[in-house]
Amino acid sequence: MICRIDEMKDKQVVCVSDGCVLGYVSDIELDTEKGVLTSIVIYGRLRFFGLLGREDDIVIPFEDIKVIGEETVLVSAQPNPTLSELKSKKRFISL
């Protein structure tokens, strides 16, 4: 399946282990030297209508992406990050 970057935006991201919705694809990270997708980014939720900033972003590596469909992206990711992951600027979620 060939997919444009514009088509990736706003696809729903669902965890296959428990069926929870992690959010929507907000951005992607590409390796420009190899020309491959390295991860997808889900922006954190707004805090108090955005006045207090956002929660940490969720970054899901390509290895955890199982299926990229027409409307959803299925991932095998763990929705609850560990304490060390919360301390970093971005949350990396994997099994």
Q: What are the residue boundaries of the structural domains of the chain, listed by start?
A: 5-84
27-31 average pLDDT score: 91
pLDDT at 50: 64
In the sheet with 21-24, reading across from the earlier edge strand, the strands are: 21-24, 12-15, 72-75, 65-68
pLDDT tens, residue by residue, 43-94: 888 777 767 777 888 899 999 999 999 899 999 866 444 434 444 445 555 5
Which CATH superfamily, name and number, covers 5-84? Answer: PRC-barrel domain (2.30.30.240)
pLDDT at 87: 42
pLDDT at 45: 80
Could you tell me whether strands 36-42 and 27-31 are parallel, antiparallel, or unpaired per DSSP bridges?
Answer: antiparallel
7-23 average pLDDT score: 88
